[in-house]
Chain A
Amino acid sequence: MLTVYIDFKSPAAYLAIKPTLDLASRLSLALTWRPFQTVERDVPKLGKEETVGESHRRVRSASQRALAIKYAGHQGIDLQFPLHPGETDLALAVLAELEGDRLPFVEAAFAAYWKDHADLNDPAIVQEIIAASGVVYTCDLNTAHESLGIALKQAEDAGIVGAPAYVIAEQIFVGREHLPWIEEIARAEAG
């Protein structure tokens, strides 16, 4: 089994979905999707008086964005960043509470955020995603944040520091660039 921590507002997590599903399909690997809150920021504007640190963060952010768009293009995805990073807490809370196969909700929520730039903290929108994805959600959206808090604490305690994060054989890997090693472990586990 491969556990995958995601945040719908993370471009890295979004771009990891297809290669992760491809891997799971090749190896008949069961996936468990769990929520994690990443911190996404606007690309800082060039300041008149920038410290080296501020300049570093601005250049890093712009570079990461450009590379995400480049690799998204290779997947056939026209990656459009929202004007400002949105909130995803409620959708993540639902993810924490869903029973059964979470993948339809995961795919629908990523699409809503990245194609429609939807507010995934809006109960009406999250309810629409639940309905459209066909998953069975029996909990209460009004109290879902409590489940998210618990899930995030568990993720933090487990040592998760970013998304997408993969946990397999008690090892944590942050980023889809680790999929070759993850595949090696999965194959070894499968015998």
Chain B
Amino acid sequence: MNVLQSDAPLIVYVDIKSPYAFVAIRPTLALEADLGLQFDWRPLTLDIPSYLGSAEKKAGKVVASKGRSQKTWNAIRYSYRDARRYAERQGLMLKGTEKIWDSTLPNIGILWVMQTARDRLGAYFEAVYPPFWRRELDIEDISVVETCLRDAGIEADGFAAFADGAGRAQHDALQPQFHPNGIYGVPSYVLGDEIFFGREHIPYLRWALTGRDGVAPDIAYEIA
């Protein structure tokens, strides 16, 4: 799988553990539905400590932190507050995570759903994202991911083997391709040879996917 190529009109990269991706899911699904298109959704599993340092919290208090300056902390706190208020506008709860999770399993789940039950993808995101951001899911436990699949009406038999075999291989083959191809975060959108980071580009994507008529819109977080 080439990170920039797809038969779909748009490739969307997301990571379950990203608050930015969390608040982008519903608007992007809405764009897909509005336009009557099927996007190619794929996982990008972020290596957060490599660029933001790492931290661990217990009972809301930071108990361990590595490689984070005060400015980095301030920016991270703002980012969470910002994502939270937009999540709340969507009727969702967003609690800061207490550690940096390994989201590989639920991200492989995206590949599983895309290949076995494409029409249930939205249901899968609803089964994983909101409870994870309410701190109700241990996404590192494969049985938890299997339960999410079943809750979304998706066959979970065979997922464990997929996550350990072909799915893992597909996931792992994507990851080293991102930086060399100009992709670094989520949500990222690939539209032909254009790459966009962030849901603020949804107005532009809608304009581009509907014929590029008139003036291109500026970046904006669309609000309902």
Taking Cβ atoms with an 8 Å cutoff, the residues of A that contact B are: 19, 51-53, 55-60, 62-63, 67, 70-71, 74-75, 159, 161-162, 171-181, 184
Contact = CB atoms under 8 A, between A and B. Distances in A.
A131 to B, nearest CB: 32
Interface of B: 47, 50-51, 71, 74-75, 78, 82, 85, 178-179, 182-185, 194-198, 200-201, 215-216, 218-223
A56 B182 contact: no
Given A53-B51, A176-B218, A176-B219, A62 B78 contact: no
A9 B179 CA distance: 26
A75 B216 CA distance: 9
B184 A74 contact: no
A52 B75 contact: no
5 residue pairs, one from A and one from B, having the closest CB atoms? A177-B200, A52-B50, A56-B51, A53-B50, A59-B184
Given A172-B78, A174-B78, A180-B223, 16 more contacts: A52-B47, A52-B50, A52-B179, A56-B50, A56-B51, A56-B179, A56-B184, A59-B182, A60-B51, A62-B182, A67-B196, A67-B201, A161-B71, A176-B220, A178-B221, A181-B223
B83 to A, nearest CB: 12
Contact of A159 (B78, B178, B197): B78
A152 B70 CA distance: 15
